[in-house]
Chains A and B, each alone.
Chain A
């Protein structure tokens, strides 16, 4: 291929990418394609019209930015970075899940970074899309990778059939128990199959004084109300919003109140980091070995048990279900967002593929390293299939358990109020949990009204 026609090809490719990214319309694309067909004169005209700058921009090194906790929990990431010479690896300015810097840059049609690793679909993905901060991965992610994503995860990461979050770290909510405490209380050393069993065991732990408290949970809605609701039914979403007045949601709230009779009294207090969302009271109780049963995403009990005298006393199991319930739970992934005004998009896809398939990251995550034990899992079918075919000697049983839960688990629907609906609703449904409102239906109706009122504001 001659130098000139090679340049024309490159110009066409850039125009195609810009069209796919929505930065130029079809008319611009056709004009540029025609111009490039005009040879050197056309190339010059195209270059003057802006494509030259697109080429020049791609000259910066691949610049990913990570939420700090991901680096803290996954120390093998720098090893992956070594395979990408010149990579400009950075920590994102998103303390407290604040995304304002990304939005502000996108408004100026620019981005300091190419890819953000730290996006949770139900939390900020819709906001990113509405503000034009990110673009879908579909033009860059290899087809074999997109087909390899577990279907429920692919659904979680997609909007209108386009993949806006390349999934990375999977969290599923299940149950955990301290076998030292349960044994002392004469409770079966197995995951309670139903919520009734969960309550009976909790009571036994308290009555036997094996521990001050029988059970605990994280009071934030997406970590307690939603998984408990899903354990009865996942058909609780209307127009992308959680239906607080649905029967499963009401039953979930009633169950939470029943569990609270055996839980740490500070269970409803806000946490002490990330604007109250993290370092929650359930974690403190479980870490202090003051409670026997627990349900939360698995990396929480794994992290808390790491400081026990004997971390092997920790056991993990599926979330209990209601009798005749669906037996589902909730999961979410923390994934990667592709900045619309970033650069190096093909390189970014190459990097994220290497990152998300890295065996060392997954081994460290599952087994733990001397400092951390996140217990987060991969989003790909092929990795689990390989582990099924040849089970690694380090593989703990909870991995297969989580994988099997995924076929029934459901993510929270993506919505601009995906997270906020639970933040707005929490103090209102807590009026029932605190005994200020005797009727759970009344409390949940008020929650629904408050969320709708906030949505109406804009």
Chain B
């Protein structure tokens, strides 16, 4: 005990002896260790956002040799008056509505089913099978589904026309290329692609629920549905919130799939605000990147508001 008091006194004396130079040195050391993360965060995330924000207040055109001039909110005003801005935001929202439930409901059901498999080897096999689409490169996924959906030679229409006789070659569904079916078709592809990945989220969440909780509920007379609704679901709420927020962001900002399946046809349901922005920034006229930046900022702000709402709705309660 006496030794401990002595050590404590020595430590205190050492601290008192630490001068301002030592404090600065220690502070610098902290910043030195933080520097890589700060440089990455500022350079990779903050700077591009600030740059785009600045661009959105200018009339910058990439192909023009004229310097960018400050135009205030003119780009925002013009974009908000453009019917294409609203139509393209609406299309992105429509796709998100088609896609988002599929990232929650189906994976949740599958996760519960897989979680109940008693045979450990079988459970592992199911997980591996579920994850297969998630590890296929995007290029292959797009090639595969483009073929599946092909009007004239795809297997889906082959089944509908030649096997089941539900349609003829004249009136078979036109899945891709800018029809009303294009967004649901892409949503189905995306749900299939992310099914395993999203299911793993829920399997991890289910594994974290103490077994005593559902067991206690059952002893108290709760049925399986009541156990799911009152015990399992609230326990999975944090995972649901993460998935909903993450996938909402990615669904609203889809562009690769639209470029591949719909092109730059402005009447196509795949011509969303991301396509509008890309079109203005890299295709049209002198590449109006100031205007495109304003379109991007409007889309991002709209997404942030909805995300805040989703976080509130899906927040863990109790």
Contact = CB atoms under 8 A, between A and B. Distances in A.
A454 B174 contact: no
Interface size class of A (residues with CB under 8 A): 35 or more
Interface string B165-197: 000011110101111000000000000000000
6 contacts: A266-B174, A272-B146, A288-B152, A420-B283, A420-B284, A457-B288
A272 B178 CA distance: 11
A103 B266 contact: no
Interface in A421-458: 423-424, 426-428, 430, 454-455, 457-458
B268 A427 contact: yes
Interface stretch (A79-87, A273-281, A314-322): A273-281
B68 interface: no
Contact of B62 (A131, A212, A270, A276): A131
Contacts of B254: none
Contacts of B282: 98, 100
B202 interface: no
A427 B63 contact: no
Interface of B: 59, 61-65, 78, 146, 150-153, 169-172, 174, 176-179, 259-268, 282-288, 291
Contacts of B63: 103, 127, 130-131
Contacts of B178: 269-270, 276
A44 interface: no
A417 B287 CA distance: 11
A457 B291 contact: yes
Contact of B177 (A264, A276, A285, A458): A276
Nearest to B264: A423
B151 A266 contact: yes
Nearest to A273: B260
A127 B61 CA distance: 12
Nearest to B288: A458
A255 B213 CA distance: 72
B153 A288 contact: yes
Nearest to B282: A100
A265 to B, nearest CB: 6
A416 interface: yes
Given A270-B262, A272-B146, A424-B266, A265 B284 contact: no
Contacts of A203: none
Nearest to A416: B285
Most chain B Cβ neighbours within 10 Å, of A131, A271, A276, A290: A276
Contacts of B64: 130-131
A240 interface: no
Contact of B285 (A212, A265, A458): A458
Given A281-B152, A420-B284, A458-B288, A275 B177 contact: no
Given A264-B152, A281-B151, A416-B285, 4 more contacts: A270-B268, A284-B150, A423-B265, A458-B61
B268 A284 contact: no
A427 B266 contact: yes
A122 B250 CA distance: 36
Interface in A118-134: 127, 130-132
B263 A275 contact: yes
A96 interface: yes
A8 B262 CA distance: 58
A265 B174 contact: yes
Contact of B265 (A276, A455, A457): A276
A266 B263 contact: no
Contacts of B176: 269-270, 272
